[in-house]
Structure 1
Amino acid sequence: MSSTPPPGPGPVPPQAPVAAEFESDGCWVVQARGDLDSDTVDPLFIAMWQAAASHDVVVLDATAVTFADSSFLSLLIQVHQQTRLRIAAPGTALRRLLSTAGIDHLVERYGTLEEALAAPR
Structure 2
Amino acid sequence: MTNSSANNSVFRGFFEKQKLTGPNFIDWYRQLRIVLSIEDKLNYLEQPIPPASVPEEGQLVASEILAAHAVWIKGSKEIDGLMLMTMEPEIQQNLENLHAHEMLQELKTLFAQQAEQELL
Higher helix proportion, which one?
A: 2
The reply to whether TM is greater than 0.5 is no
Query: Which gives a bigger RCO, structure 1 or 2 (Cα 8 Å, sep 6+)?
Result: 2
Higher strand proportion, which one?
A: 1
TM-score by length of 1: 0.30
TM-score by length of 2: 0.31
